[in-house]
Structure 1
Amino acid sequence: MQNIAILCSGGDVSGMNPALKHFVEYTLQKNLTPYFVYDGYEGLIDNKIEQASYCDVSGIINRGGTKIGSARSQRFMQKKYRDIAKQNLDTLGIEMLVVLGGDGSFRGLDIFYKETGIKFCGIPATIDNDINATDYSLGVDTALNIIKTSIDAIRDTASSFKRAFVIETMGRDCGYLALVSHLTSGSELCLIPEKEYDLKSFEDDFKKQIKNGRKYFIAIVSEGIKQDSSEIAQWFENKIGMESRVSILGHIQRGGNPTIYDRLMAYKFITHAVDGLLAGRDESVICYTKSGFEFNSIEEVTSKTKELDAELLSYLDKP
């Protein structure tokens, strides 16, 4: 039997545990021996690698985060530690790796493969949804639903106290979460890194809305914009004339019970990743687009900054 391992790298997302569950079940079905690497690339170096079985994944499909842990490894950037990781895999006879992570994780994999020949398939897993060549990353749907629930709850208070609320989402340099949440929540303002803005251009319209009876505002901003959320709140108070508050959703967006869609996508990502490795795809990332699932090279995935859907962006220009 061939041995295959899975690890999680970078930020955790809801959907990783469903992926781990299907990884064990599907690899055993394919007569492979599955292994878990605990704590990401750090676990590869520290030899935290254990054979997995059905009992290891029982009852985890509904849990957020990742049972096997994750990490961002500075040591893995150094060849001497990658050599140690290779020795640990060789000792266990592991020749294939499935990695749940993002751009940085995949770049590390690319170097590791070229040095060692360890076959791999990357699965995009980041709530930022900022990975080029894939329309969807594992964990995004759960994050969007967490944000939706938060916005709906905050709206209750905003309307009761006649306030403006500035709600900050994650996204680093990608405004996907903020944009989609804006379009699906009916908020009045959305600010993202991909779109230049001038707050002054909103002032006359917002004041007119207040005169016409508007009692509150919801503004959704991405953490990557040029201003702090507190500055946007001050603008509401000083220029619009409405008391304001800031809610930074932070890491709450990463956790929570995985949605049905993320559980299903985890199932599909894992199936394609394992099948690809068995079919001889030794160095790839499995991506999901409107055309379905497709394998891409590391270069295709990491060489370009992801662009938001032009149609979604165009909605910000509409009144």
Structure 2
Amino acid sequence: MKIAIMGSGGDAPGMNPAIKRFVEVAYEMGHEPYFIFDGLEGLIDGKIAKAIYKDVAGIIHRGGAIIGSSRSKRWYENEYRKKAFENLKEHNIDAIVVMGGDGSFRALDLFNKEFSINFVGIPTTIDNDIYGTDLCLGVDTALNVIRDAVDKIRDTASTFARAFVIETMGRECGYLAAVSAITSGAEVCVIPEVDFNKPLATKILQKEIKEGRRYILAIVAEGTKRTAEIAKWLEDDIGMETRVTVLGHIQRGGNPTVKDRMLGFGFALKALEALNAKEEGKIVVYKNGEFGVESLKDALKPYTIDPQILSMLHFLD
């Protein structure tokens, strides 16, 4: 088979290890690997090329994706999907491995239904909001980036006796914020999934300050849109000088951790195995320490954070 790999949507650390493994294993299996550059936009524009070993030499440690990625409004117009299909047929490509999130998987599912181009998805999003997989590619690195930033902010917070509000990414999912709050010992965590008990938090923090607490760390998920509100509350109600740090896109960059390198390898191998087995429209998952495949229908179910994680957080009802 001729099989192409592409990125779609936001980038995540671990994409390059997955790309490297895809090329190597494809050749081992007797397939011809191809790159689709710049995601769906590149597919529409015909940015397709055969991949060779040299292309993936020395990329395992690099963040981002050497093949690029994109989001595409044009994709949702039939004329551009038809153009994308014609580009694939020009290279006789039989299937696609797509690294992305639920939006990317839906886009490829529509494509497959129209033109019978099979695909397998690799869950690639630091948001970790794909149902059926314990981890998505890039999550572990993002958590370590946040951990490093919070540890450094704590140094300043404790020195100046201040409160710091740290906003994490994650769209509508609070996974990054929740796990980061737990593992950094943050006093406050605000996520979309659970109501933040402000009266209880106020009572506890005021008591702790009277007993000698010098600083407060508050981690807020971007999806709550409450970063400014929490900062004002800490300043006005808790009575502590407050600063805000929005971590932003540093969470999507950097050298992938060992965990994300291993996940990239495993996801790529399982994706090719699924295509070898003629499985249609599957998503690779990592569950209970093992790689498997799920149907697209199951992978697109609403994601919920593990209740055990939520039970470890402070000030949540």
TM-score (norm 2): 0.97
Q: Which residue of 2 aligns with 1:272?
A: 270
RMSD: 1.2
Q: Structure 1 unaligned runs (5+)?
A: none
C-alpha contact (below 8 Å) 2:137/2:264 kept by paired residues = yes
Q: Which residue of 2 aligns with 1:312?
A: 309
Q: Which residue of 2 aligns with 1:129?
A: 128
Q: CA–CA distance in 1 between the matches of 2:81 and 2:11? A: 22
C-alpha contact (below 8 Å) 2:181/2:313 kept by paired residues = no
Q: Which residue of 2 aligns with 1:116?
A: 115
Deviation at 1:266, TM superposition (A): 0.3
Question: What does 1:151-162 align with in structure 2 at a 5 Å threshold?
Answer: 151-162=150-161
Deviation at 1:198, TM superposition (A): 3.3
Q: Secondary structure at the match of 1:287?
A: strand
Q: CA–CA distance in 2 between the matches of 1:129 and 1:305? A: 12
Question: What does 1:1-319 align with in structure 2 at a 5 Å threshold?
Answer: 2-227=1-226, 229-290=227-288, 292-302=290-300, 304-316=301-313
Q: CA–CA distance in 2 between the matches of 1:226 and 1:19? A: 33
Which residue type is aligned with residue 293 of structure 2? Answer: F
C-alpha contact (below 8 Å) 2:200/2:315 kept by paired residues = no
Which 4+ runs in 1 deviate beyond 4 A?
none
Q: Structure 2 unaligned runs (5+)?
A: none
Q: CA–CA distance in 2 between the matches of 1:83 and 1:187? A: 50
Q: CA–CA distance in 2 between the matches of 1:225 and 1:283? A: 33
Q: Secondary structure at the match of 2:292?
A: strand
Which residue type is aligned with residue 311 of structure 2? Answer: S
Deviation digits for residues 149-194 of structure 1 (CA, Å, limit 9, x no counterpart): 0000000000010000000000111000000001111111111000
Deviation digits for residues 55-90 of structure 1 (CA, Å, limit 9, x no counterpart): 111111111011111000111112111111111111
Q: CA–CA distance in 2 between the matches of 1:234 and 1:143? A: 27
Q: CA–CA distance in 2 between the matches of 1:11 and 1:22? A: 20
Q: CA–CA distance in 1 between the matches of 2:256 and 2:193? A: 28
Q: CA–CA distance in 2 between the matches of 1:192 and 1:53? A: 44
Deviation at 1:202, TM superposition (A): 1.1
C-alpha contact (below 8 Å) 2:188/2:315 kept by paired residues = no
Deviation at 1:206, TM superposition (A): 0.4
Q: CA–CA distance in 1 between the matches of 2:264 and 2:168? A: 23
Q: CA–CA distance in 2 between the matches of 1:318 and 1:191? A: 9
Deviation at 1:226, TM superposition (A): 4.7
Q: Secondary structure at the match of 1:202?
A: helix
Q: CA–CA distance in 1 between the matches of 2:88 and 2:146? A: 39
Q: Secondary structure at the match of 1:82?
A: helix
Residues matched between the structures, number? 316
Deviation at 1:318, TM superposition (A): 7.5
Q: CA–CA distance in 2 between the matches of 1:287 and 1:83? A: 30
Q: CA–CA distance in 2 between the matches of 1:49 and 1:86? A: 12
Deviation at 1:42, TM superposition (A): 0.8
Q: CA–CA distance in 2 between the matches of 1:291 and 1:65? A: 25
C-alpha contact (below 8 Å) 2:270/2:284 kept by paired residues = yes
C-alpha contact (below 8 Å) 2:188/2:314 kept by paired residues = no
Q: Secondary structure at the match of 1:224?
A: helix
Q: CA–CA distance in 2 between the matches of 1:196 and 1:270? A: 38
Which residue type is aligned with residue 190 of structure 1? Answer: C
Deviation digits for residues 111-140 of structure 1 (CA, Å, limit 9, x no counterpart): 111111111100000000011121110000
Residues 318 and 240 from structure 1, CA distance in 2 versus in 1: closer, same or farther, beyond 3 angstroms?
Answer: closer
Q: Secondary structure at the match of 2:235?
A: helix
Which residue type is aligned with residue 206 of structure 2? Answer: K
Q: Secondary structure at the match of 1:4?
A: strand
Deviation at 1:298, TM superposition (A): 1.5
Q: CA–CA distance in 2 between the matches of 1:163 and 1:309? A: 32
Q: Percent identity?
A: 53
Deviation at 1:200, TM superposition (A): 2.4
Q: CA–CA distance in 2 between the matches of 1:37 and 1:129? A: 24
